[in-house]
Chains A and B, each alone.
Chain A
């Protein structure tokens, strides 16, 4: 059974730190991996989409990488801000989802 795992489940860091969120998946035959942000009580917002032919994507302070051989994707957040506090989820092809990492940025 294909699975997506996100570790840690929760993370709390001081404002200004650079941080990395992890997403691991089984089966290296992946078409794409997408990172989302979810604020409490809200829907999901797509942050970055990495196609299987790509190794990384960048948007502002966010950078996502994809390593198919190791079955891992990372979301790097530079210079974190309190407004980055949210739950971050990853999904392969929109079919299989991780449970998310709840991120708290302390002012």
Chain B
């Protein structure tokens, strides 16, 4: 089925550990996004990639890095995890920036202890 695939679905990290969240889409979309969602809050944009080869900071980029590996894949890396990064992370894609409907992955639930 066409869509956005995120791995892993669940992860527990110790403070200071690093990890990479993977995201891939098979809809030939140009734009990809990483969000975090905390309880009782809306989504907050971490980083986005308007097109292959470009990445830009969103509202809450500190503590994260991203790589747009190719048109399909957009990864999010936590270099030194902190408890404040405990959250649910969503990847999304759209045909062309914020002008089109978004397709979301099912999320990664990350706990940092």
Give the A interface residue count (CB, 8 A).
21
Interface of A: prevailing SS: strand
Chain A residues, Cβ within 8 Å of B107: 42-43
Other-chain residue from A31, A46, A89, A100 in contact with B101 (beta carbon distance below 8 A): A46
- With the chains together, A94 CA to B81 CA distance in Å? 26
Whether A44 contacts B104 by the Cβ 8 Å rule is yes
Give the B interface residue count (CB, 8 A).
23
Beta-carbon contacts under 8 Å, A28-47 to B: 31-32, 34, 36, 42-46
Which of B14-22, B36-44, B64-72 participates in binding chain A? B36-44
Beta-carbon contacts under 8 Å, A12-70 to B: 31-32, 34, 36, 42-46, 49, 51
Nearest residue (CB) in A for B106 is A43
Whether B58 contacts A99 by the Cβ 8 Å rule is no
A-to-B contact residues, CB < 8 Å: 4, 31-32, 34, 36, 42-46, 49, 51, 89, 91, 93-95, 97-100
Q: List 5 A-B contacts (CB under 8 A).
A: A44-B92, A45-B104, A93-B98, A94-B92, A94-B98
Q: 4 closest Cβ contacts across the A-B interface?
A: A97-B42, A93-B98, A43-B104, A46-B101
